């Protein structure tokens, strides 16, 4: 059974204080790993897709990296508007389509001014 574990569950940072969120996974043949951002009371918003170990993607203050067992979402010099819940999901290689996605429970990030 595919599993995704995100840590920490919650993280409070000061504005400008860089940190990383972790997504550990076990899956039978990784097809893709996805990061989403979710604001309170809203639907998730897609951020990144990573396909193979060693791959990195960047967007503004966010950088996502991937190894064979985990992914990190690095946040550099965060601002209060980066406060959100960050979700990680993995897609197994056994079949196509987003019906094969397994989501983690998310990391709730708060950036204090």
Partner 1 sequence: DGGITQSPKYLFRKEGQNVTLSCEQNLNHDAMYWYRQDPGQGLRLIYYSQIVNDFQKGDIAEGYSVSREKKESFPLTVTSAQKNPTAFYLCASSTSGGAGDGELFFGEGSRLTVL
Which residues of the chain form contacts with partner 1 (CB under 8 A)? 4, 31-32, 34, 36, 41-46, 49, 51, 87, 89, 91, 96-106
Shortest approach of partner 1 to residue 98 CB, angstroms? 5
Smaller CB separation from partner 1, 65 or 107? 107
Give 31 or 63: the residue with its C-beta nearer to partner 1.
31
| Residue 108: closest CA among 78, 83, 77 | 83
Beta strand ranges found along 2-106 (DSSP E):
3-7, 10-14, 19-26, 30-38, 45-50, 56-59, 62-66, 70-75, 84-92, 101-103
- In terms of CB distance, is 1 or 113 closer to partner 1? 1
Least distance in angstroms from the C-beta of 104 to partner 1: 5
């Amino acid at each position: 059974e595919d599993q995704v574990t995100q840590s920490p569950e919650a993280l409070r940072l000061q504005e400008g204080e860089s940190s990383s969120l972790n997504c550990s996974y076990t899956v039978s043949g990784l097809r893709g790993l996805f990061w989403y951002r979710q604001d309170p009371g809203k639907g998730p918003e897609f951020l990144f897709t990573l396909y193979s170990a060693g791959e990195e993607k960047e967007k503004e203050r966010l950088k996502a990296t991937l190894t064979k067992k985990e992914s990190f979402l690095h946040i550099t010099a965060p601002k209060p508007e980066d406060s959100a819940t960050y979700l990680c999901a993995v897609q197994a290689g056994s079949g196509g389509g987003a019906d094969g996605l397994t989501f983690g429970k998310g990391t709730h990030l708060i950036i204090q001014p």
